[in-house]
Amino acid sequence: MTGEAYDYMMSAVVLGAIFTAAVFVVPSLSYVNLLYLDQQQLQNVALSAIKTILFDEGYPTNWGSMHGTNMFNEIDVKRFGLAALSDPSLYVLDSNKVQRLANNPMGNISYAKVKELLGLSGYDFSIIMRPLFNVDRSVDIQRASNEQTATITWETNVSRSDGHPVPKAIVYPTIIYAVDSGSSFETRTVQSRNETDSLGRCQGSALVSVSGNAKIKDIIVVFRVTVADRSTMVVSSQDTHDPDDIAKINIVGDTIVLSLPEDMSNPENRWITNIQMYNFETSISLLNGTNKDTLNYGSNNVWNMTFSGLSGCDPGILVLTFNTVLGPHEGGRTLAILVGPWALWNLGGIMRFNPVPVGSGASAVVKRDVIIAGMAYVAELRLWKT
């Protein structure tokens, strides 16, 4: 009788232990495993997707520029990929294709279309292209009242994405200023060189002056920053006007396309007086504008012109001078300088495609260094389940 009771008690203890294991331990093991499996599956899908995005040229292979100066139509894109057609190297991307991911007055490819072409139903993703490091800058321009001299002072702060300073980065500030000589207009440049200190900072100043009847109009400072000659970033700063108020600059293949901002707060004609290609060593004049080279909200809201070999000048920037009114209450006509194209590094130097916040579930992130228009960027793909 005692033995039987002992048997029952022992059985109850053993079964209780099994029950506890079944209720608490096994589900937790399975949950961790499933979560881990989920994460690995996402990682594999993300790796496969970024491989297609970076290594595939897409079809048509020139899909980023196939419509020339006409409006881009995403229906014509049959396969998605950003790789450069003319470059057999890996991780070199076609800037015409990358620019179609950003808001582009010449048309862009939608997130839904890219998702469909990549076959990522059941997943959502975002793509971010950003420079290897951040450049914060401040520029102060003091002009003399006779408009013949100006003192430009600048300060830059170069840091990594986590905020750590980048010492010994070489900063090349280039001052570009428009000179009105009465009978003619011209653009002049002055370049200097600074090196960041241990805190990633550097500063400098320069004096620009003209003589005779000439007057200094618009001034813009362009910063080219390199680390070990490798990483290059260009940012600009100016004080008189918002560049977006004048015109938007795009390059499609060898064609420069200028378009007006959607905001019509400044409805005046913009006469294009001069276009130069500047590669930070030499400046090549591409166009001295005539009275036909104009942008307005009437019949000329888009201007374009093809310059053979333009796409091979990377990395370089376009310097455009306009004869325009800077705003409705800004007085008469003056010269305004515009530098571009900025499609890749507007909004603080970062291009975001579908920048929606990720949910609290698992997500996978894959990053790769890429080269776009001769400059180094980090391409980041973030993928999660819908």
Partner 1 sequence: MRVVESIMAALIVISAVTFLYFFASTPSSQAHDTSELEKIGHNILHDVDEQRLLARYVYRSEWANITSALVVSLPTNVYFNLSIYDINHNPINHPLIQYGDQQVFSSSAAVASVTYILPGYKTSYNPRILVLKLVNG
For residue 374, the minimal CB distance to partner 1 (Å) is: 8
Tell me the closest approach of the beta carbon of residue 232 to partner 1, in angstroms. 10
**Cα torsion angle, 380, 252, 90, 124, sign:** positive
Which residues make beta-bridge pairs with 276? 285, 319
93 — phi, psi (to 5°)? -105, 155
By CB under 8 A, residue 228 contacts partner 1:
yes
142 binds partner 1 (CB under 8 A): no
Residue 36 binds partner 1, judged by CB under 8 A:
yes
Nearer to partner 1, 139 or 225 (CB): 225
* Site map 231..260 versus partner 1, x via CB under 8 A: x-----------------------------
* Torsion angle of C-alpha atoms 322, 334, 285, 344, degrees rounded to 10: -50
191 binding partner 1? (CB under 8 A):
no
Q: Please select the residue that binds partner 1; options are 113, 352, 368, 385, rule is CB under 8 A.
A: 368
Q: In whole angstroms, how close is the CB of 129 to partner 1 at the nearest point? A: 14
Sequence-distant (≥ 6) Cβ neighbours of residue 83 within 8 angstroms: 54, 55, 56, 57, 58, 92, 93, 94
Contact 344, 290 (CB under 8 A): no
Site for partner 1 in 101-140 (CB under 8 A): 132-133
| Segment 147 to 186, residues that bind partner 1, using CB under 8 A | 160-162, 164, 166, 168
Which of 8, 297 has the CB closer to partner 1? 8
Q: Which residues pair with 126 in a beta bridge?
A: 382
- Note the Cα 316 to chain centre separation in Å: 15
In this complex, which beta carbon is closest to partner 1, that of residue 44 or of residue 301? 44
What is the rounded (10 degree) CA torsion for 285, 287, 291, 294? -110
Would you give the binding string for partner 1 spanning residues 67-96, x where CB under 8 A is met? ----------------------xxxx----
Q: How far is the CB of 33 from partner 1 (least distance, A)?
A: 6
Name 33's Cβ contacts closer than 8 Å, sequence gap at least 6.
Answer: none
Number of residues near partner 1 (by CB under 8 A): 44
CB of 162 to partner 1, least distance (A): 4
Residue of the chain from 109, 249, 339, 366 that contacts partner 1 (CB under 8 A): 366
How far CA 232 is from CA of 170, 193, 202, 314, 343, in Å, comes to 10, 14, 16, 12, 16
Residues between 284 and 343 that touch partner 1 (CB under 8 A):
none
Q: How far apart are CA 289 and CA 182, in angstroms?
A: 16
Q: Which of 227, 258, 277, 326 binds partner 1 (CB under 8 A)?
A: 227
Interface map 5-24 toward partner 1 (x if CB under 8 A): -xxx-xx--xx-xx--xx--
CA–CA–CA angle 232, 237, 203 (5° rounding): 70
For residue 160, the minimal CB distance to partner 1 (Å) is: 6
List the one residue from 339, 370, 381, 383 that touches partner 1 (CB under 8 A).
Answer: 370
Helices (H), 24-125: 26-55, 95-99, 111-118
Please answer whether residues 350 and 329 qualify as being in contact, where contact means their C-beta atoms are separated by less than 8 angstroms: no
Nearer to partner 1, 52 or 323 (CB): 52
Q: State the Cα–Cα distance between residues 334 and 337, nearest whole angstrom.
A: 10
Angle subtended by helix axes 26-55 and 111-118, to nearest 10: 100
Residues that bind partner 1 (CB under 8 A): 6-8, 10-11, 14-15, 17-18, 21-22, 26, 29-30, 33, 36-37, 40, 43, 47, 89-92, 132-133, 160-162, 164, 166, 168, 227-231, 366-371, 376
